[in-house]
Structure 1
Amino acid sequence: MMLVPSLLKESPIAGKGIFAASPISKGTPVWEFTPQLDLAISPETYQQLSPIQQEYLNVYTYFTEGNYYLCADHARFMNHSDDANTIEEGFRCLASRDIAEGEEITCNYFHFDDHARRKLGME
């Protein structure tokens, strides 16, 4: 779940993205997995879903530690950047530098998503 005010807008990176609604200082927690809202989906459950449902999860989840994780809020629209302005720390991410109001909030998929190469069209 996002922990900072944010907006969903068109992204110059890809499709929609999530943007800071106010300045975010370096070190501020930006997102964390919130089990009361976000979902952890086992591979067994994934296999029981229809192909359309699986494709949705392929786009909007990240896969780590043997499960698919689906964010309940706009966090699922956080785009990849090789020069991301957040850094992952377990099941949360922090601002790795100051993020200006209106700046897109990005993460590096390779730091936490075992399916990053597929998502980025590298497979």
Structure 2
Amino acid sequence: MLALAASRPLADAESVSYEDLGDQTVVDAVVPAYWREVVIPSHTPSGRPIKIGPHVNDLLELIPVLASGEAVSPVHAQTARYFARPDIAFVPIRDAALAHWALVWRTASQTDLIRDFAQIVEEHGPLAL
């Protein structure tokens, strides 16, 4: 998903592509390099550089930057669910890679509750969000 101010022109698009990011300023987020190149690449598919803009440390710092229209940011789909606001739009990125999430825990800390929860997750997964 591309998160951006609801007032920006792309906010009404049915979907966007990573090529569209060549015309935007994208938030500089604190993420590992391997994650950045997949989710926030340095160039569009055609090779145009993507301008990296304001730096944020976490989602709570990201929200006002998005709402102000200062920059846009690719985010995972669940962000739209948990940070829904009328001044921020979430538009699908049609050429984005699917994100894969997994339930993990330290086996040294395993309890009956964790095993039961893992069993429920296994019975109902995988899910597409």
With structure 1 as the length reference, what TM-score do the two structures score? 0.30
Structure with more of its chain in strand, by fraction:
1
- State the structure with bigger RCO (CA 8 A, min sep 6), 1 or 2: 2
With structure 2 as the length reference, what TM-score do the two structures score? 0.29
Structure with more of its chain in helix, by fraction:
2
